[in-house]
Chain A
Amino acid sequence: MSKINSEIEDKVMTRIKTEEVTMKPRWYFVVGSVFMLLGLVSLTVGSIFLSNLTLFLLKQHGPMGQWRLETLLDSFSWWIPALAILGMTIGIMMLRQYDFSYRKNLTLVVLGFLASIIISALLIDHFGLNNLWSQLGPMKKFYQQLENKNTTPGRMQNGSGRFRNRP
């Protein structure tokens, strides 16, 4: 056993001394952590935005939208909730890399993460930020494109009860 042990020590130290293996620099880990944090924050913000956009588009179909399910399914921009779900999934995978994810109950951490995204999306919707963004600022064009895709004549706008084209 001791022979094998000294072999291990010799092999490891030889590879280190001959610089066959070298230490990754500190900046590599710093950059990695920064990117990881930025990635997680971007994914969270992106997921909130996309979840909120999903709510916005659902509301566009107005009350009784559930009775026009077929129309809704035809015109709905499915890539938005799909991207939101993808963002949440990658976010959860990234959360698992952090120490707190195993120190705390992972199920609770994941549920907390998902709940915070959904609640934030609902709050944005509740305070009417969507309507504001669809009328002003850099997001105006994007919202207009989505509105055009998702609205047909006679359909209500923004769930506000106003008709775009009254017959």
Chain B
Amino acid sequence: MYIKLTKMTDEEIVRQVQKGDKEIYARLVKRYQDKLIRYATYLVGDYHLASDVVQETFIKAYVNLNGFNVKKKFSSWIYRIAHNEAMNVLKKDKKVFPIDEQVEIESGVNLEEELIKKELKTQTQSCLQQMPVIYREPLSLYFLEDKTYEEISDILRIPTGTVGTRINRAKVMMKKICQK
């Protein structure tokens, strides 16, 4: 059963949940919580706030699951909900959030490599946080979440051309910010 579950695509799991198997939704939560917390942290700048965003994201996704078209990508859909939730939080509290140091890196090969990674990641986050959110988002989705232009377009609901433009501008901005 476990093997079968791990092989199931997101969309297949959604179909099962839509049919009434609530328990299997936990599988989707497991698959996406780390990624979504990381993404939300880039956006709101606070790990605990990001985990609230993610919790609300999963609840909203469940409530609206029957509205999801299984022919489309579930990952883009759930990232879109997380984006909306994070934007609501940012609108509510417009202050600039401090960069949270608690974001851990998954256990890697060795300690030295892990430290370098951690340093790079902290530095990247620090630079990212100084950027306007419209550039921060596509950049983090493209480089840190490995999303394609099409997926980013679906998540942010902007044309793929605009995604490219924003990523290019964000790269220039990032270079300037990080070199300061």
A positions within 8 Å CB-CB of B: 1, 4-5, 7-9, 11-13, 15-17, 21-26, 28-29, 32, 102-106
Tell me if B66 and A12 are in contact (CB < 8 A): no
Tell me if B26 and A104 are in contact (CB < 8 A): no
What are 12 A-B contacts with C-beta separation under 8 Å?
A1-B37, A1-B102, A8-B55, A9-B30, A11-B55, A13-B25, A21-B62, A23-B17, A23-B64, A28-B66, A102-B157, A106-B159
- Complex: A24 Cα to B63 Cα, angstroms: 6
Contact partners of A22 in chain B: CB under 8 A? 63
When the two chains form the complex, which single residue of A23, A26, A32 contacts B62, counting CB atoms closer than 8 Å? Answer: A23
Tell me if A9 and B29 are in contact (CB < 8 A): yes
Is B58 at the interface (CB under 8 A from chain A)? yes
Contact partners of B54 in chain A: CB under 8 A? 8
Tell me if B51 and A102 are in contact (CB < 8 A): no
Tell me if B29 and A13 are in contact (CB < 8 A): yes
Is B103 at the interface (CB under 8 A from chain A)? yes
- Complex: A131 Cα to B54 Cα, angstroms: 60
- Complex: A103 Cα to B30 Cα, angstroms: 30
Distance in Å: Cβ of B20 to nearest Cβ of chain A = 9
Distance in Å: Cβ of B174 to nearest Cβ of chain A = 24
Distance in Å: Cβ of B58 to nearest Cβ of chain A = 5
When the two chains form the complex, which single residue of B17, B26, B34, B66 contacts A24, counting CB atoms closer than 8 Å? Answer: B66
Contact partners of A28 in chain B: CB under 8 A? 66-67
- Complex: A12 Cα to B17 Cα, angstroms: 14
When the two chains form the complex, which single residue of B22, B26, B64 contacts A9, counting CB atoms closer than 8 Å? Answer: B26
Tell me if B159 and A105 are in contact (CB < 8 A): yes
Distance in Å: Cβ of B84 to nearest Cβ of chain A = 13
Tell me if A4 and B62 are in contact (CB < 8 A): no
Distance in Å: Cβ of B103 to nearest Cβ of chain A = 7
B positions within 8 Å CB-CB of A: 17-18, 22-23, 25-26, 29-30, 33-34, 37, 47-48, 51, 54-55, 58-59, 62-67, 102-104, 153, 157-161
- Complex: A24 Cα to B59 Cα, angstroms: 12
- Complex: A56 Cα to B87 Cα, angstroms: 46
Tell me if B153 and A5 are in contact (CB < 8 A): no
- Complex: A5 Cα to B54 Cα, angstroms: 10
Distance in Å: Cβ of A11 to nearest Cβ of chain B = 6
Instruction: Evaluate whether A1 and B22 lie within 8 angstroms (CB atoms) in the complex, with A8-B55, A24-B66, A104-B159 already known.
Output: no
- Complex: A31 Cα to B37 Cα, angstroms: 33
- Complex: A4 Cα to B45 Cα, angstroms: 16
Distance in Å: Cβ of B68 to nearest Cβ of chain A = 9
A-B residue pairs, 9 tightest by C-beta: A29-B67, A102-B157, A26-B66, A12-B58, A1-B104, A9-B29, A8-B55, A5-B33, A4-B51
Contact partners of A106 in chain B: CB under 8 A? 159
Tell me if A16 and B66 are in contact (CB < 8 A): no
Tell me if A1 and B103 are in contact (CB < 8 A): yes
When the two chains form the complex, which single residue of A1, A9, A15, A26 contacts B59, counting CB atoms closer than 8 Å? Answer: A15
Pick from A17, A103, A104, A105 the residue with the most CB of B within 10 Å: A103
Instruction: Evaluate whether A21 and B67 lie within 8 angstroms (CB atoms) in the complex, with A9-B33, A13-B25 already known.
Output: no
When the two chains form the complex, which single residue of A5, A21, A102, A105 contacts B37, counting CB atoms closer than 8 Å? Answer: A5
